[in-house]
Structure 1
């Protein structure tokens, strides 16, 4: 049996500090419990150790989300795991997706930016934008 291709899409909207919408749904094979990574569009630089030149950029993951609702053409997913430059942080609703700067119907908006006093010292905050790429990591976990 042929392996199906990895599902790739984009952040379509941000519902609140823990839930975002992805522009892929049941029609593309999305199922409840699937895990998606939200990718950093800038990536991490790869530096040549001999010359110090930047060779390019590699994909860098911002956070992972788990699908909680599936519709024909989109799905809702909630924070599953946050990432940091040194690796994965915590699991299950750890951290917040905040400070979104996005374009919606031609208007810029900042959504769900909590006051600084709301953030806990150990709580990660990740900046996500509408249009950030997402890719499937695994089926239900």
Structure 2
């Protein structure tokens, strides 16, 4: 059985400590994610469980590894642009809604605490 990792300490808004390290085969630049387990989703045809709709609170990058813990930073970055010419515009991407059957909307992320806290679950991702 795979050991579940957790947030062990919050250093500041930029760095957290996870209770997994080199003893757990964690390396510099590994990708981890902080998540909250979600609702189970079932296949509409077979009734088979497809897993849970987990909410990912943050995607992390390992920056310092110790035997039993590692220090991680946020993998998500923000690009800032400075324009010297007023005629240039600021471009960004916007997610557009899909044309879905609204009566089939069932939600899935209600009641999720989006704040990262000590004890939150962490998993290694490829």
Q: TM-score range by the shorter chain?
A: 0.5 to 0.7
Q: Is 2:119 aligned against 1:128?
A: no
Match status 1:9 vs 2:5: yes
Determine if the alignment matches structure 1 residue 68 to structure 2 residue 63.
yes
Runs of 4+ in 1 over 2 A off after TM superposition: 5-8, 43-49
Matches within 5 A, 1:42-121: 43-44=38-39, 46=41, 58-81=53-76, 92=77
Against the structure 1 CA distance between its residues 8 and 17, is the aligned structure 2 distance closer, same or farther, given a 3 Å change threshold? Answer: same
Q: How many residues in Structure 1 have an aligned counterpart in Structure 2?
A: 86
Which is bigger in relative contact order (C-alpha 8 A, separation at least 6)?
2
Higher strand residue share: 1
Question: What are the ranges of 5 or more consecutive residues in structure 2 without an aligned counterpart?
Answer: 45-50, 80-113
Match of 1:111 in 2: none
| Distance in 2 (alpha carbons) for counterparts of 1:73 and 1:22 | 9
Larger Rg: 2
Q: CA RMSD in A?
A: 2.8
TM-score (norm 2): 0.57
> TM-score by structure 1 length?
0.52
